[in-house]
Amino acid sequence: MFDPHYNPTNFLREADLPAPSALRKQIKPLIERLISDPDIKQEIRWASFGPDGEEALLTDLLQAIETLLACQRDAQRIPELEQTIARQEQQIGQHEDQLFNERIGREMAEGRKDSLYKRLFEMEERLEKMQAEIAMCRKHPIILQPKFDPTLTCAQTDWMEHWRAAHGFKTQATLITLLGDTGIGRQPRIRWEMAQLLGYKDPSTSNITKAINTCEKRGLIEIRKATEGLNGRPPHLIYLTDLGQAAYVMLTNKKPRSSELNTLASHMTDGHMLLNLEVEQFLTQDGYEILAHGHRHYLDGVRQAVPDITVRRDDQISYIEVERNGRKSERAEKWINLCELTSGQIYVFCQSWRLAQEITNEAEAILEEHNLKYQLNVTCLEDCRRHNKIIWLPLAESR
CA dihedral sign of residues 133, 138, 144, 149:
negative
pLDDT of residue 168: 92
Task: For residue 319, give the nearest of 299, 349, 298 by alpha carbon.
Answer: 349
Q: Does residue 4 carry a pLDDT above 80?
A: no
Q: Does residue 56 carry a pLDDT above 80?
A: no
pLDDT of residue 44: 67
Q: Does residue 37 carry a pLDDT above 80?
A: no
pLDDT of residue 387: 87
Task: For residue 271, give the nearest of 355, 191, 342 by alpha carbon.
Answer: 355
Q: Does residue 236 carry a pLDDT above 80?
A: yes
Q: Does residue 129 carry a pLDDT above 70?
A: no
Q: In this structure, are residues 286 and 262 in contact, taking their beta carbons and an 8 Å threshold?
A: no
Cβ atoms within 10 Å, residue 165: 9
Question: Percentage of the chain surpassing pLDDT 70?
Answer: 79
Lowest mean pLDDT among 51-55, 157-161, 389-393: 51-55
Cα–Cα distance measured from residue 273 to residue 288, given in angstroms and rounded to the nearest whole number: 19
Q: Does residue 263 carry a pLDDT above 70?
A: no
Higher pLDDT: 268 or 269? It is 269
Task: For residue 308, give the nearest of 341, 363, 349 by alpha carbon.
Answer: 349
Looking only at Cα atoms, what is the longest distance across the chain? 164
Q: Does residue 250 carry a pLDDT above 80?
A: yes
pLDDT of residue 49: 59
CA atoms within 13 A on the CB side of 253: 7
pLDDT band at 113 (very low <50, low <70, confident <90, very high): confident
Cα–Cα distance measured from residue 372 to residue 332, given in angstroms and rounded to the nearest whole number: 13
Arithmetic mean of pLDDT, 337-359: 90
Lowest mean pLDDT among 33-37, 239-243, 374-378: 33-37
Each residue of 138-183: pLDDT tens digit? 544 433 333 444 443 334 678 888 899 999 999 999 999 999 999 8
Q: Which residues pair with 222 in a beta bridge?
A: 239
pLDDT of residue 221: 92
pLDDT of residue 328: 62
Alpha-carbon distance values, 90 to 82, 95, 114, 307 (Å) = 12, 9, 36, 44
pLDDT of residue 135: 55
Q: Is 125 helix (H, G, I), strand (E, B) or coil?
A: helix
Each residue of 368-385: pLDDT tens digit? 999 999 999 999 888 888
Arithmetic mean of pLDDT, 235-259: 90
Please name the residues in contact with 141: beta carbons below 8 A apart, sequence gap of 6 or more.
none
Higher pLDDT: 121 or 155? It is 121
Q: Does residue 193 carry a pLDDT above 80?
A: yes
pLDDT of residue 60: 75
pLDDT of residue 145: 36
Cα–Cα distance measured from residue 101 to residue 155, given in angstroms and rounded to the nearest whole number: 67
Q: Packing angle between helix 169-182 and helix 187-198, nearest 10 degrees?
A: 120
